[in-house]
Amino acid sequence: MIFRRKASGKVVRHRPRCSFCGKERGEGGVQLVAGAGVYICSECVRVASEILRGHNPPAPAGA
Ligand SMILES: [Zn+2]
């Protein structure tokens, strides 16, 4: 989750990172796309796009 509600009721915002590979924005030049409580980076978007088009790319490095 992006937000964590503490006992004090204060909401702490965490640095957004890709929910799929865990990369942060700017890491390796990636951009993040925000979803409903999740993020996906440009790299994962590209991989997902290729999968949806029927390609079968190798697993991303570090996965
Ligand atoms: Zn990613």
- List beta partners, residue 34: 39
User: Residue 5 Cα, ligand 1 centroid: separation in angstroms?
Assistant: 25
User: Residue 42 Cα, ligand 1 centroid: separation in angstroms?
Assistant: 7
User: Residue 20 Cα, ligand 1 centroid: separation in angstroms?
Assistant: 5
DSSP string for the chain: --EEE-TTSPEEEPPPB-TTT-PBTTGGG--EEE-SS-EEEHHHHHHHHHHHTT--PPPPTT-
Q: Kindly give the confidence (pLDDT) of every residue in the chain, 63 residues in length, as a single tens digit, with 9 standing for 90 and above.
A: 566 666 666 666 678 899 999 999 887 788 999 999 999 999 999 999 999 999 766 666 665
Q: How far is the first Cα of the chain from the last one, in angstroms, to the nearest whole number?
A: 21
User: Residue 31 Cα, ligand 1 centroid: separation in angstroms?
Assistant: 9
User: Residue 44 Cα, ligand 1 centroid: separation in angstroms?
Assistant: 4
**0.85 exceeded by the pTM?**
no
